[in-house]
């Protein structure tokens, strides 16, 4: 189960394409004064809460939300925060670079998006870590780039190993 709080531009089709069951999706469109209460109610009730705060979140409010996450016992909830407002978090993820695959000579279908994802913050030792991921891969799921090898490359490696 998942919830979208203040994320008005994410369509149900996109959620379904990402593999999330839309029958267990809660969509909340709160005003600026009630988004925090909506997030606090959903923590522990659903597995993932994606929230776009309408304003920058201060340290005290962020600590309150994180404390609520730690206290939730019924369901372990992942809180994902997006948007221009800041939210002090132990880990921040950002896509530093991305390119799509699948369109050839102006026609075809987008099949995969290769992205350079950077993790920064206290949870990664104050520095940063970089990963190359398919967001999504050809099968619609997230994969590390090295886990998805082109068939031609695998065949070449087998020929070298056999020689």
Q: What is the pLDDT at residue 104?
A: 75
**pLDDT averaged over 10-residue windows placed end to end, the chain, 163 residues:** 87 77 89 92 91 86 88 78 72 87 79 88 83 84 71 61 73
Kindly report whether the global pTM for this prediction surpasses the value 0.95.
no
Provide the residue ranges of all domains of the chain, joining segments of one domain with +: 1-89, 90-163
Give me the residue label for tokens 């002090």.
88
At CA 68, angle to CA 63 and CA 72, rounded to 5? 150
CATH 3.40.50.880 at 1-89, yes or no: no
Q: What is the pLDDT at residue 4?
A: 92
- 54-66: per-residue pLDDT in tens? 888 888 888 899 8
- How many angstroms separate the CA atoms of 137 and 52, rounded? 25
**Cα separations in angstroms, 45 against 1, 37, 67, 105:** 8, 13, 15, 47
Query: Are 32 and 61 within 8 A, CB to CB?
Result: no
Q: What is the pLDDT at residue 155?
A: 59
């Amino acid at each position: 189960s998942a919830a979208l709080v203040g994320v008005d531009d994410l369509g149900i089709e996109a959620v379904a394409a990402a593999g999330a069951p839309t029958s267990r999706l809660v969509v909340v469109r709160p005003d600026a004064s009630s988004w925090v209460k909506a997030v606090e109610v959903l923590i522990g009730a659903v597995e993932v809460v994606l929230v776009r705060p309408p304003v920058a979140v201060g340290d005290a409010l962020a600590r309150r939300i994180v404390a609520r996450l730690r206290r939730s016992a019924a369901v372990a909830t992942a809180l994902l925060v997006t948007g221009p407002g800041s939210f002090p978090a132990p880990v921040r993820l950002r896509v530093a670079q991305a390119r799509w695959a699948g369109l050839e000579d102006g026609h075809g279908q987008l099949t995969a998006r290769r992205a350079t994802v950077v993790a920064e913050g206290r949870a990664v030792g104050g520095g940063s870590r970089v990963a190359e991921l398919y967001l999504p891969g050809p099968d619609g799921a997230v994969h590390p780039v090295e886990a998805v090898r082109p068939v031609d490359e695998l065949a070449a490696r087998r020929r070298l190993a056999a020689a």
